Amino acid sequence: MSDQKERAVAAGDQIRVNYVGCFEDGSTFDSSEGHEPLEFTVGAEQVIAGFDQAVVGMKPGESCKVGIVPEDGYGAHVPEMIAEVERHLIPDSEKLVLGSMLEVSMEDGQTLEVQVVELSDAAVTLDGNHPLAGKDLHFEIEVLEFS
């Protein structure tokens, strides 16, 4: 990727960024620190909308802090995406732990990733919402390069 100091990031650019994602209380939920920079095409819906919009107009070496509301992040938390299932209906249910992720088959043949949010001897409560749905997110983003 070429270092384009004169031109700002625009839709369609392939971009590399470092980032830190935090909740409102300052706790980190994701970061590129210690990993390869995040690489994506701006405007191609490869990242959440608020993150995509934040980098437009930036230049390599620039950083920004941005707050992202659920509508521009992972969407609202939808209560209808939570279901209680009888424990005996889940294969290997004795191995389940709170927070673990399962893949379930839907009636239309598609699969959905769900998180175990409650466990009892008789039932398991599964949440099909993205773990970050309904949350305000804060990112610090540094543009490294783009082409």
Residue 21 sits at the vertex; the CA angle it makes with 141 and 25, to the nearest 5 degrees, is 125
Q: What whole-number distance in Å separates Cα of residue 144 and Cα of residue 147? A: 11
Which residue, chain included where needed, has tokens 């938390």? 77
What's the whole-number mean pLDDT along residues 104-124?
A: 90
**59-92 pLDDT per residue, tens:** 999 999 999 999 999 999 999 999 999 999 888 8
Q: What whole-number distance in Å separates Cα of residue 35 and Cα of residue 55? A: 20
Portion of the chain with pLDDT greater than 70, in percent:
97
Q: What whole-number distance in Å separates Cα of residue 133 and Cα of residue 76? A: 5
The confidence score (pLDDT) of residue 3 equals 46
The confidence score (pLDDT) of residue 4 equals 46
List the beta bridge partners of residue 84. 125
What's the whole-number mean pLDDT along residues 125-147?
A: 96
Is the per-residue pLDDT at 2 higher than 60?
no
The confidence score (pLDDT) of residue 91 equals 83
The confidence score (pLDDT) of residue 6 equals 75
Q: What whole-number distance in Å separates Cα of residue 134 and Cα of residue 23? A: 11
Domains and CATH numbers, the chain: 14-74+132-146 (3.10.50.40), 79-127 (2.40.10.330)
